[in-house]
Structure 1
Amino acid sequence: MTTGSFYESLPPQNSTPPAAAPGSYSPPPAAPATGALPYGLGFLAYIPLPYLSLIIAGIVMASVYPSQKRKGGLAAENARQAANWGLSLIVYMVLDFTFFIILLVTRPEENTGFFPVGIPVLLVLAIGLAHLIVSIMGLVAANKHTVLRNRIAIPFIR
């Protein structure tokens, strides 16, 4: 059921602890997994390595999915959405780098200005900003026990 909202709730997970014997201590129950880990690991994109850091972040976000999938429920869905964004990020960066190489090789010798070769550089900045926004929104959604439906991510994993 899609309402068009970025945040969509999953049914609440039953996490009631078993009843403890009277007078005995039982530790508080562990919080259910929310799937915030892949979005948090997305901040690896801000390692100061141009191009490469965003690709590393995408790889890490996608590689965390199998372990989060085993936790089920909200964690699995958030990890799937984060993996889709991570894989999309890799595709966007590879396309941008290819575009940069094509513009660099085909530019005329007398052109010494920033443009048109600078267009892929500006695209990397835009992709980095989009990644920052998606990572923050994903963390906020996971901590609210909802799922971020990212509209600019390619749905590789369904």
Structure 2
Amino acid sequence: MSAAAPPGPPRNGTIAWALGFLAYIPVPFLGLVVAGITQLVVGLGQRKHGGLAAVNGVRAANWGLTQLCWPLLLAISMTIGVLTGSPSPSGGGGIVFTPVMNGVVFTVLGLYFLVAVMEAVYAIVGTVKASKGLEVRLPVIPFLRAPRA
């Protein structure tokens, strides 16, 4: 007669939120992209466990997608800025953005850094709440719906 294996730890989606700390890989811009993709993939993987893990996992996946919007918007605004800009008058090979595109690029860049700060807060709050068995409710863009119970 063999003893049954003890049950594993309860599944609550903590891992999907804790992976947000990958945003602090010391390579500029890469950290947030890696964290966003990882939270998206792992968060969606939590659906198979059902219950609280699925709910918290999908919310972490939504946060991952929200994070990924900013590098994309930054790349798009930089591309438009380059395409609508003019060659540098000093002849250094650079591009001078139009005043409007300067404002757009710097606004998106500022929002990108705000998301980086929010990632620290969200990773801490999400990890702590999920590890306590609570539903994580943080404001994110709801790209994906949590499965119904």
Q: Normalising by the residue count of structure 2, what TM-score does the alignment of the two structures yield?
A: 0.73
Residue 118 of structure 2 is aligned to residue 130 of structure 1: yes
| Residue number among 22, 33, 52 corresponding to 2:30 in the alignment | 52
The letter of the residue matching 1:130 is M
SS of 2:10's partner is coil
- Out of 117-126 and 130-139, give the one that drifted further: 117-126
Aligned 1:9-24 pairs, distance under 5 A? none
Count of residue pairs brought into register by the alignment: 131
- Work out whether residues 12 and 130 of structure 2, in 8 Å CA contact, stay in contact via their aligned partners in 1: yes
Give the aligned partner of residue 93 of structure 2. Answer: none
Question: What does the per-residue CA deviation read over 1:83-125, in whole Å, with 9 as the maximum and x for residues that have no partner?
Answer: 01101111122112322443455567477xxx75544433222
1:129 CA drift (Å): 0.3
**Aligned residues with identical type, % of pairs:** 36
| Residue number among 69, 74, 89 corresponding to 1:96 in the alignment | 74
Give the aligned partner of residue 156 of structure 1. Answer: 143
1:150 CA drift (Å): 2.0
1:29 CA drift (Å): 4.0
Residue 65 of structure 2 is aligned to residue 77 of structure 1: no
C-alpha separation between the residues in 1 aligned to 2:44 and 2:34? 17
> Residues 103, 47 of structure 1: CA spacing in aligned structure 2 closer, same or farther, 3 A cutoff?
same
C-alpha separation between the residues in 2 aligned to 1:28 and 1:54? 37
- Work out whether residues 47 and 54 of structure 2, in 8 Å CA contact, stay in contact via their aligned partners in 1: yes
Larger relative helix fraction: 2
Q: Normalising by the residue count of structure 1, what TM-score does the alignment of the two structures yield?
A: 0.69
Unaligned runs of 5+ in 1: 1-24
Give the aligned partner of residue 99 of structure 2. Answer: none
